[in-house]
Chain A
Amino acid sequence: MIKAVLTVIGSDRVGIIAAVSNMLAEADVNILDISQTTMDEIFTMTMLVDVTSVKGGFAPLAANLAALGDEMGLRIRLQHVDIFNAMHKI
């Protein structure tokens, strides 16, 4: 399984999770875990997703999510899980 981490940072509003999960579902990406917090009025959502059989490839999905973020005034980033493992696990 190839895992990736999706982070959404910005001001809270209606429909963030809906919009993001729709886009993921269309790309055949399964959500494995999800957590969200609001720190200092900044909405932070973190999702662990399975990108093994992502439709259309990883890079286009990452770009579409980033564009969705721009539309909604949020920062949405999809990053391979390796970068977090490398930094935080020995």
Chain B
Amino acid sequence: MFISTDEIAQTVKMIQQEHLDIRTVTMGINLLSCVRGDIQATCQAVYDKITHTARNLVSVCCEIETELGIPIVNKRISVTPVGMIAPHDIDGCVALARTLDRAAAETGVNFIGGYSALVHKGYTVSEKTLVESLPYALLETQKVCTSVNVGTSKAGINMDAVRDMGILIKKAAELSAETGGASCARLVVFANAPEDNPFMAGAFHGVGEPECVINVGVSGPGVVKCAIEAVRGQDFTVLAETIKKTAFKITRMGQLVAKLASERLGVPFGIVDLSLAPTPAVGDSVARIIEEMGVGHCGAPGTTAALALLNDAVKKGGLMASSHVGGLSGAFIPVSEDEGMIEAVQKGSLCIEKLEAMTCVCSVGLDMIVVPGDTSASTISAIIADEAAIGMVNHKTTAVRIIPAPGKKVGDVVEFGGLLGSGPVMPVRQYEKDSSSFIARGGRIPAPMQSLKN
């Protein structure tokens, strides 16, 4: 046989036992052509464009899933940041959010992202309105994902937006108190947000993108963990090589699916995102990879180094497997979505400060962190500022997706369901004086040095 039985068995085992899947096929759609004179006409144009462009997205993905025998867990849509086409009143913005939600339901996708604003240097009137509408837009929709970019390495950090986001995250949590503040799981605050990210909640169709595009995100923490079990006790060179080879194989799946989806939908292929995305399922955890490397508990000393090696090896292995790589590309560490991370928090080995250090060497940032409901808006803003600073200075994407669960205390667990998992409430350090005076300053943190690096 042209492929050996062992190779066939390996692929089948990865899918059946090690949770190998394609995490998402995301179609990016430009909405700039949908602006009309009044908001109703704009909403109609947005609805028509999305439902027409993505009419075959789900059926084509299901077809590919059956033929290749690999699950495509999510089918998603990302759109032009709505802040660019939003009206100047909150009701109008929320009407647009409801339109996106209806379009998502009609096309059958799991999520639609792009109810977003890029405000790293300042707000336009539309963007300011959209940002203020976020808690209401989230409350009135189920599938709409939202994001706000508050900083970049070239523009610095918009601290006015950082202050506002603390207040709005609190508001969104309070409005969705019945579900433990679940609205906040669909709200990400970014620094250096990528324009072609297929992953939620932060996906949007950037302004440098074509009219329509297909981006694919792969998964596979379980496959990496099983691969490195075979090299237990061997040195780091062997470990890194093993991860690279595995990442190559995983990414080839993503490239194949992206190619097929792009051909069958008649839409250009954008990128494959090389992220290791965990799920709450046992055996699909990034934390367990770190522990398999030899770190006793995720979060213990050694975790940052282990994660740095993992993240780098995944990228090196994946790069050759795909013709175009982009998006977030790195290991994700969303606490509530990773069974090993949840256990690490409950055992006390993983805290917010350690997660912050981990975000310096891997993809994204403080992701799906549940904190006590009485955490103040200025404290949340200060956490966002810290994370944005890491992204800004290190020229990488960082993000904060934090849920101040109303009425919940440290030790409680908030259930979000599905891929969002369940989040243990993590302690936020409290002192006599908080950081509210720092956040109250407002204005912008200037862009950092590009040279004299130390």
Contact = CB atoms under 8 A, between A and B. Distances in A.
Contacts of B252: 86-87
A82 B68 contact: yes
B256 A83 contact: yes
A65 to B, nearest CB: 11
Contacts of B449: none
B245 to A, nearest CB: 11
B132 to A, nearest CB: 46
A37 B9 CA distance: 11
B16 A58 contact: no
Q: Which of A46, A59, A77, A81 gathers most chain B CB within 10 Å?
A: A46
Contacts of A87: 7, 11, 249, 252-253
B12 A7 contact: yes
Contacts of B2: 48
Interface size bucket, B side? 20 to 34
Interface string A20-39: 00000000000001010100
Contacts of B63: 59
A67 B189 CA distance: 46
Nearest to B260: A82
Most buried by A among B10, B16, B67, B253: B67
Interface string B250-271: 0011011000100000000000
B411 interface: no
Nearest to A59: B66
Given A7-B12, A44-B9, A86-B256, A79 B69 contact: yes
Nearest to A57: B66
Contact of B68 (A7, A37, A83): A83
B94 to A, nearest CB: 40
Given A46-B8, A59-B63, A85-B3, A79 B68 contact: yes
Contacts of B452: none
Nearest to B65: A59
A89 interface: yes
A83 B11 contact: yes
Contacts of B230: none
Contacts, number: 70
Interface in B1-54: 1-3, 5, 7-12, 16
B70 interface: yes
Interface string B54-75: 0000000001001111100000
Contacts of B249: 87-88
A89 B11 contact: no
Contact of B67 (A7, A9, A75, A80): A80
B66 A62 contact: yes
Contacts of B9: 7, 44, 46
A77 B8 contact: no
Greatest chain A CB density within 10 A among B2, B7, B8, B66 is at B8
Contacts of B5: 35, 37, 44, 46
B67 A79 contact: yes
Nearest to B256: A86
A5 B8 contact: yes
B7 A58 contact: no
Contacts of B7: 84, 87-88
A74 interface: no
Residue among B66, B70, B249 with the highest chain A CB neighbour number at 10 A: B66
B67 to A, nearest CB: 4
Contacts of B260: 82
Given A58-B67, A59-B63, A83-B256, A77 B12 contact: yes
A78 B12 CA distance: 10
Contacts of A48: 1-2
A11 to B, nearest CB: 16
Given A5-B8, A83-B68, A89 B3 contact: yes
Contacts of A80: 67-69
A86 B257 CA distance: 10
B333 to A, nearest CB: 26
Contacts of B68: 79-80, 82-83
Given A59-B66, A88-B10, 15 more contacts: A5-B3, A9-B12, A46-B1, A46-B9, A59-B67, A77-B16, A83-B69, A84-B3, A84-B7, A85-B3, A86-B252, A86-B255, A87-B11, A88-B249, A89-B3
Interface of A: 5, 7, 9, 33, 35, 37, 44, 46, 48, 58-59, 62, 75, 77-89
Interface of B: 1-3, 5, 7-12, 16, 63, 66-70, 249, 252-253, 255-256, 260
7 contacts: A35-B5, A46-B5, A48-B1, A59-B67, A82-B260, A83-B70, A83-B256
Q: Which 3 A-B pairs have the closest CB atoms?
A: A79-B69, A86-B256, A83-B68
